[in-house]
Structures are given as C-alpha cells and as structure tokens.
Amino acid sequence: MFILKEIGIILGGPQGAGLETSMAILGRALTRKGYGVIADREYFSNITGRHSYIHMLISSTKLPRSLGYPVEILASIDAETVFTHFKDVAEKGVVIYDKNQLDKNIDNVPSMEDYTRERIKIILARLGVNPTIENIVSYLEKERNVVPIEIDFISIIRKITERFKIDPRQASRYVSGLIVSAISIVIGLEEKFVRYGFEQQFRERRHLIEHNMALYELVYDSIATFRNIVKVDAPRIALNKLMILTGNDAIAIAKIIAGVRYQSYYPITPAADESFTIEKYEYNEVNGKAVGPIVVMQTEDEIAAICSAIGASLSGARSSTATSGPGFDLMVEGISFAGANEVPVVITYYQRGGPSTGQPTRGSQSDLMNAVFAAHGEFARVVLSSGDHVEAFHDTVEAFNIAEKYQVPVIHLLDKFLANMIASVPVPDIDRVKIERGKIVFSRSNYKRFDLSNLISPRAYLGADNIVMWHSGDEHDEYGHIVEDPENRLKMYSKRIEKMKLVLEETPSDIKMGVYGDKNPDYIIVGWGSVKGVALDAIEMLGDRIKLCYINMKLLWPFPQKEFLEIVKDIPRDRIIAVEHSHGVNIASLIAMSTGITIDRKIAKFTGRPITLNEFIEAIEKIVYRNEKRMVLAYGA
C-alpha cells in the first residue's frame, strides 16, 4: 500500500455500459469527501459496443486542471480496455479486470478497429507478450509490478439479480456500480461516500441505491485484501462546497443566469447536452422569483436555429444557439445577417474534429479561422474563448453583454474537451454576474433603428410602443430601408465595422487574455481554450528549470493587439511557442496577421484526444533543450 497526493484512473468499457454513470457517481462521491476531480470522457460516434473510457484525476491538494499518463489505476469492464490501455498503467499501479475475460484473445474483440488491433499486436509482439488478457496481466505484474485485481463480474452480478429478483437481461445495468465500488475500495474511499454517490445518482430510482450498495458489499468481500492499495491522501482543499459538472452544464447554467430566454438548437455532438440542461430548467420559481420562461426550440436545422435566435433577439429576448462545426457552417449566412442588422446573438460553438463529419465525438481547436472569418462581407463580430469551466461560466455572461452592448454576433468558441469534461469547481460567485443590455429605446416617434449619429444606434425591440422600424439584409439607410447610395453605403458599412474599436477599447483586460507564470520568462507559451489547464500545470512543473509564462488568449476577435504586444515586447521572437489542438496551430497565424509577430515554434495535436501533461512537458523540453521547431503530439488511446 502506498499513499499518493493524486491518482490517475482509466475506467474503460463498451459504449452503453454506463461509464458516464460511473463517472458521475465517482465524481460526486469523491467531491463529497473533499477531493478535487477532473475527468475526460472519450467515446466513439456509436451508441452501443465501441470502446469508451473515462480518464480521471483525483487530487487531495488542489482542483486538478489537466490529465496525464501513466495512470495508477486501470479499471476495465471488458477485455478491449485492457488491450487498449495496459501500457498506460504506472509502475506499482493496479489493473482491475473481469475474471471471465482472462482467456480473451485480441483477435476475438470484434468491437476493436482492425487498425488498432494490428497496432497493439505489434506492441505486444515487441514485448514478447501473447495477445490475451491473462498474458498481459502477468506481464504487468512481473515486469511493471502492477497489482492485478481480479473480479468475477458474472457471479457477483448474478447474486444481485437473484437477491433482488431482477430480470437477468437487466444485469448489465449493474456493471457501472460494480466498477465504481471496486475503484472506491482500492483507493480507500469510505462506504458513506460511495453511498452518497449512489444516492445522488439514483435520486429518482431509489431502489437502485439499495441494489448498488449490496453490490458494493459483495465487491468489498471479493477484493477486501486490496483495500487502500493505492490510497489517495486525505483531502486538504480548503473548500466546503463545490460544483461538479460538465462544461456543457456550466455554460447552460450560465446562460440561464445571464438571462437567456430563447435558445435554439439542432441536435449535434458535443453541443446538444447544453440545450438539454437549459430545457430542464425552462421554468422555475425560487423564493417566489420566476426564472424563465425559457423557450428551448429544437429546430429543423441549424439555419433555423440561428435565424430564429436572431428573430427572438429582435423581439428583445436574450437569445442564443449552440452547435459544433457542421452546424456552424450552416449558420454562416445567418451570422452575416446579424452583422448587417446589428443584432445581438450568441453562438456557442463547441469544436470537434473536422473536416466534414470528421471525428464527431473527439475534440479539436481547428475551427478558429472558421469562427473568426466565416461569412461574406465585412462586419463586426466577437469571438471569445474560455480556458476552463469557471471561465466558461463567466464568459458566457460576458458574451451576452458584449453582444447586446455592441449589437454584434458573439461566437463563444469552445470544444468537445470542455463540453464533456467533468470538473469539481468552486461555486461561481453570483455577485460577479453583471447584466448589461446596452442602449435601449422603449418608445419614440420617428425612430431610426440605424441612426448614424453614433457608432451604437440605440436598439428598440419589435413591439415597442409607437415604434415602427425596418431591418434588411440589403444595405439600408437609417430607417432600415434598402438604399444603394454610395455615400450611405460608406457611412453605414464603416459604422458597423468600426464598432470593433469600441469592443477593444472597453473590454476589460481579463476578458481579453490571462497571463500566468513567470514575470521574466525564458519562453512564452501562447494558447487558448482547453490548452489552459495543461499549460498551467506544465509551467508550474517546469518552473524550477525553465522560466515560463502562459498567455491564455480569450478575446480572439477583434484581436487585442496592443495588450499582446505589451506582454511579448521583451521576449525574443524565437522564444514564443504556440500550442493548439490542430494541425496548423492557427492562433500563430491570427497573431501574425494582427501583430506582425511570426511564431515558428509550435506544438500541435490533432488526434482528437486532449493534450496530456506528460507529452506537453516533453514537447516543451524538446523545444527548449533541443531547439525543435514543431512538435506533433499523439498520446492517448
């Protein structure tokens, strides 16, 4: 038995086996005890059968921000998990597996892709290990001092189905509880916390709490000797209350608080869950205060999603839509209309792997240029990104404020990593939430919607008393009527674009970017969005050897040139490193066109899996010590 400050876990099994449930139960149980938790969910575009896994980090000292390899615990529901992840288990780690899978050969795992199978077979052949679970387990035990923990899944679950007279066809429902129990026992999480996890998860199906606790006891009896074998240290995080939620949920909650009252969507991974959560809260009363109603519309396509959101905004609702790459592509003409008609609307854009359908359930940051430049004509738009759940919460509120103050479409650019990652975070400070709706006219005769006397023409909502106004996608005059006069064109076109100057002048610096680490760094790392957590952990870990600073770019468009130049003014150009989950590391191009600074040191990852701490540190070391220019990362199954 050894005690660790933090523990990494891979928990894998077939899609449909309830891994998400396991993640939620464990996450809550651990948070209840006071640990910090973060977990990424990796899955195929498939409903049943393909390999999916949770990559989790539990910390006793802090709220974790990134994931890394190797992991202390590999908890497998099926053989494929062991084949896929055995090499990621740390020395003296633990592998939990199902006894009934012992003689499984990799050739008998039909759900595994042929490409993956061949790749793993080569690795095993090099190690001289026959491709069966039994051989891998004994290899891990002998060569890596890994502790094998064998559980007879079938017999344990049979005992439960018999005891509670459960239809045996429902047996697979108990796998998630079984694996949660096993992990809890191994890391020394007390029974009461496990119970709490089950209670929270099965609030509406209370009989399952009893079943799962009975399951816990059976698992306990079966592996009691392994109790506390990789014990995580007692928690020392000074927070008494935490939220545990996915990025989708953080943003949904933020939208509700920001005052979204119309949200449209067409189902797409990894955006749809956000709308689901909002719909769950479409109308509530708290202390007699109404929160809502929120109209959540599942539209016929993304074109209708954006167009109806713009329509709702014209009527005075705070409105938004959420999508990912393919849906955003369909929205582009609508965004152009919002630009032309100065309509506030927020588009929450969760990037996934492209092009085309690409890797629908994998993460990516390859749509930066799409978010910034897609659409014909020139007009003001704002692109904002967030580095983690807490930022995403506050930025969501800010996105609406910017949209309404400057009457522009705002694209809140996120990604699948954030969308599906669960994290334990401090409860947001609601006092920090400011709601600014911009200049609004409620009644006026001879109202001109596009009054040219100011860059921002006061907005009236459709239906305002005594106001009649026009909007048109065609170039228009101050009233909104079509006019092609060149002088009017010059004024109206410029006004719309020049609003961007105001955005740059008035947006607070912490919304533009965050700067972390050394004040006089040897190297500056620049990234945005989901890179933040791993970058911050990396600069901390490398701190005693390499002085590093991380710039977390948040306002991506209009690009905050002045502030950026100020931060990098003393650093030699060849000591800036750009990092992104993409092939092109396109943030470097955006910086180059906005500031004239060319960055030729790049860290790229486009496998669809998040950058992990181990590979990121290695990449920085290679750039610093071996003068590498471009590092392409590929860790993770």
Partner 1 sequence: MERKWDYKTSLWVDWCPGCGNFGILTAVVKAFEELGLDPSKTVIVSGIGCSSKIPHFVNVNGVHTLHGRAIPFAMGIKLANPELTVIVHGGDGDLLGIGAGHFVALGRRNLDIVVIMHNNGVYGLTKGQASPTLPLGVKTKALAKPNIQQAVNPILLALASGYTFVARGYAFESTHLKNLIKMAIKHRGAAFIDVLQPCITFNDVFTAEFYRKAIYKLDDDPSWDPVVRKPEEAREKLLKSIEKSLEWGDRIPIGVFYVNEYVLTFEERLNKRLYKYPAINPSNATIEINGKSILSQQEFEELFKDYIVVVER
Touching partner 1, residues 257-296 (CB under 8 A):
257-259, 261-262, 264, 281-284, 286-287, 289-295
Of 394, 398, 361, 393, nearest to 383 (Cα)? 398
Show contacts with partner 1 in window 385-424 (CB under 8 A): 424
Stretch that binds partner 1, among 65-73, 118-126, 180-188, 430-438 (CB under 8 A): 430-438
296 versus 555: smaller Cβ distance to partner 1: 296
Count of residues near partner 1 by CB under 8 A:
89
Show contacts with partner 1 in window 93-112 (CB under 8 A): none
How many angstroms separate the Cα of 488 from the Cα of each of 102, 452, 462, 476?
77, 10, 24, 8
For residue 344, is the peptide bond before it cis, meaning its omega torsion is within 30 degrees of 0? no
Burial (Cβ within 10 Å: 0-12, 13-18, ≥19) of residue 224: exposed
For partner 1, which residue of 73, 180, 245, 534 counts as binding (CB under 8 A)? 245
CB of residue 464 to partner 1, shortest distance in Å: 6
Q: How far apart are the first and last CA of the chain?
A: 28
Over its C-alpha atoms, the chain yields an Rg (Å, rounded) of 26
Contact status, residue 603 vs residue 550, Cβ threshold 8 Å: no
Of 11, 5, 55, 9, nearest to 35 (Cα)? 5
CB of residue 463 to partner 1, shortest distance in Å: 5
Stretch that binds partner 1, among 41-49, 137-145, 220-228, 255-263 (CB under 8 A): 255-263
Residue type, 202: F
Does residue 435 interact with partner 1 by CB under 8 A? yes
Show contacts with partner 1 in window 440-479 (CB under 8 A): 461-474
Largest CA distance in the chain: 85
Instruction: Determine the Cα–Cα distance for residues 493 and 487; give it in Å rounded to an integer.
Output: 10
For partner 1, which residue of 21, 46, 228, 299 counts as binding (CB under 8 A)? 299
Contact status, residue 342 vs residue 408, Cβ threshold 8 Å: yes
CB of residue 524 to partner 1, shortest distance in Å: 36
CB of residue 259 to partner 1, shortest distance in Å: 3
CB of residue 526 to partner 1, shortest distance in Å: 32
Show contacts with partner 1 in window 565-604 (CB under 8 A): none
For partner 1, which residue of 249, 273, 274, 367 counts as binding (CB under 8 A)? 249
Chain centre to alpha carbon of residue 512: 20
Sign of CA dihedral 462, 467, 472, 477: negative
Stretch that binds partner 1, among 128-136, 221-229, 411-419, 426-434 (CB under 8 A): 426-434
For partner 1, which residue of 127, 213, 433, 567 counts as binding (CB under 8 A)? 433
For partner 1, which residue of 28, 85, 117, 581 counts as binding (CB under 8 A)? 28
H helices present in 48-113, as ranges: 79-85
133 versus 251: smaller Cβ distance to partner 1: 251
84 versus 320: smaller Cβ distance to partner 1: 320
Q: Which residue carries 């989708």 as its tokens? A: 248
481 versus 501: smaller Cβ distance to partner 1: 481
Instruction: Determine the Cα–Cα distance for residues 278 and 261; give it in Å rounded to an integer.
Output: 10
327 versus 521: smaller Cβ distance to partner 1: 327
Of 397, 380, 308, 384, nearest to 341 (Cα)? 380
56 versus 79: smaller Cβ distance to partner 1: 56
CB of residue 307 to partner 1, shortest distance in Å: 4
**What is the three-class DSSP state of 436?**
coil
For partner 1, which residue of 26, 32, 360, 406 counts as binding (CB under 8 A)? 32
240 versus 627: smaller Cβ distance to partner 1: 240
20 versus 537: smaller Cβ distance to partner 1: 20
Show contacts with partner 1 in window 67-96 (CB under 8 A): none
CB of residue 594 to partner 1, shortest distance in Å: 30
Strands (E), 529-622: 548-553, 555-557, 576-580, 601-605
CB of residue 428 to partner 1, shortest distance in Å: 8
Instruction: Determine the Cα–Cα distance for residues 272 and 275; give it in Å rounded to an integer.
Output: 5
Show contacts with partner 1 in window 8-27 (CB under 8 A): none
CB of residue 419 to partner 1, shortest distance in Å: 16
Contact status, residue 421 vs residue 392, Cβ threshold 8 Å: no
CB of residue 54 to partner 1, shortest distance in Å: 18
93 versus 409: smaller Cβ distance to partner 1: 409
Chain centre to alpha carbon of residue 168: 37
CB of residue 417 to partner 1, shortest distance in Å: 19
CB of residue 139 to partner 1, shortest distance in Å: 39
Contact status, residue 438 vs residue 406, Cβ threshold 8 Å: yes
Show contacts with partner 1 in window 152-211 (CB under 8 A): 192-193, 196, 200
214 versus 303: smaller Cβ distance to partner 1: 303
Contacting residues for 288 by C-beta, under 8 A, at least 6 apart: none
Residue type, 365: Q
How many angstroms separate the Cα of 264 from the Cα of each of 33, 182, 267, 318?
38, 41, 10, 12
For partner 1, which residue of 316, 353, 363, 533 counts as binding (CB under 8 A)? 316
